[in-house]
Amino acid sequence: MRLIVQKYGGTSVATSERIRNVARRLVETQREGCRVMAVISAMAGVTDDLIKLAHEISEHPAERELDILLATGEHAATALVAMAVNALGGRAISVTGAQAGILTDRKHTKARIANISPKQIHELLLDDYIVVVAGFQGQTPEGETTTLGRGGSDLTAIALAGALNADVCQIFTDVDGVFTCDPRAVLAAKKLDEIAYDELLEMAGAGSKVVQSRAVEFAKKFGVQFEVRSSFNRNVGTIAKAETASMEDVVIRGISLDRHQAKLTIAGVPDEPGIAGRIFSNIAAAHIIVDMIVQNASIGGTTDISFTIHEDELENARKILMPVVGEIGAKRLNTASGMAKLSVVGIGMRSHSGVAARLFECLGRSGINIQLVSTSEIKITVIIDEKDAERAAQLIHAEFGLAGLVPAARGTAAFA
């Protein structure tokens, strides 16, 4: 009999009505002749409320206690889903991460899975239970509750699917799958039938988070194929899988767009060891997240260092950097907000030459100025004016033939 693992996120179990919907899907899936395991996140908002409460009580809550606190969100949601299945005449049982055999290291709040012993859930599945597992959590060898970090339920589902050798692993979310681009920016954006793990990872890094990155890394490492699909309709989603030869035929898989970026350039930086460290340690101390960093070749003993941050942090970063610029003997600090980051991602880049040139020419023909460039093996990222962002995405989408015959529904894409 086929074993299906279905993971439902917080928005999919946000209300009692939605919990009943999830239960209906689980029961239907079982009636189609499958063994069914569900992995459930806390109801939307619950985890944030608990974190807020913890911080009201303590500036630095003990991480052991924080894990016990946060894990209650998933415990409650699994019990409710199990009740809902039972109310439909199904036969469900809720289990904690510990009962599911998820053994982790001792790093509270961001534990890593060390081992999985799914004996108990395996037996429950053979006994025809719909097994409802609390996502996001595990336990240490000493039996202490741990959590797997934000989005950890994805990891729970993929890891258990791998350990149980499940036939199908479905990540249900509030979007229809992974799209070639955000349909709000590009009407012709198309849902992808499949995507390579590496592409999904690069897209997540470029602001298109649909599955937790660590979960994708885990899936890649253990070869667990999974589908990202919506819990609000019956549409087929996007399959994430190991890359195949035919996948390289597609030059680029998708475009992701990150708005509200600011660009900072420190010009005339003396080309000496330790200078970059001084700049970024000051920024890091203020908890400002730096995204792209670009440093050009040194000319005449000085170089320029550029980087991007969210534009809300620009004023803060300026204040921090102004004295640093003087201290390190750099010439000046230039800043600009209203930027957008546009990335094209595709494993096809490895075998197709000239992708960057084609991208730059496409933008150049339309008078869109490229301000920074950074590349990885399967990604090219450019910083452009935010006002050009949508037009740029549309032009590139067309240039690389990403448009399909069926335009995506608005507002239901992973690029939202």
Least separation in angstroms between residue 153's CB and a copy of itself is 16
Q: Please state the φ and ψ torsions of residue 351, each to the nearest 5 degrees.
A: -105, -15
For the chain, how big is the Rg over CA atoms in Å? 24
Task: Identify which range of 69-77, 163-171, 279-287, 295-303 contacts a copy of itself by CB under 8 A.
Answer: 69-77
Among 4, 5, 14, 19, binds a copy of itself (CB under 8 A): 19
Q: Is 140 in the site for a copy of itself (CB under 8 A)?
A: no
Q: Is 288 in the site for a copy of itself (CB under 8 A)?
A: no
Nearer to a copy of itself (CB atom), residue 149 or residue 338: 149
Using the 8-state DSSP alphabet, how is residue 386 labeled?
A: G
For the chain, what's the residue count? 416
Q: Which residues contact 186 (CB under 8 A, 6 or more apart)?
A: 180, 255, 390, 393, 394, 397
Q: Which residue has the tokens 């030459």?
A: 353
First to last CA, the chain: 37
Determine the 3-state secondary structure of 240 from DSSP: strand
Nearer to a copy of itself (CB atom), residue 65 or residue 390: 65
Q: Please state the φ and ψ torsions of residue 384, each to the nearest 5 degrees.
A: -135, 170
Q: What pairs with residue 381 in β-bridges?
A: 343, 374
Least separation in angstroms between residue 92's CB and a copy of itself is 8
Q: Which residue has the tokens 């930086």?
A: 269
Site track 82-121 with a copy of itself (rule: CB under 8 A), x = hit: xxx-xx-----xx---------------------------
Find the angle CA(272)-CA(278)-CA(279) to the nearest 5 degrees: 100
Site track 20-59 with a copy of itself (rule: CB under 8 A), x = hit: x-----------------------------x--xx-xxxx
Task: Identify which range of 73-81, 181-189, 198-206, 218-226 contacts a copy of itself by CB under 8 A.
Answer: 73-81
Residues that bind a copy of itself (CB under 8 A): 16, 19-20, 50, 53-54, 56-62, 64-66, 68-69, 71-73, 75-76, 78-80, 82-84, 86-87, 93-94
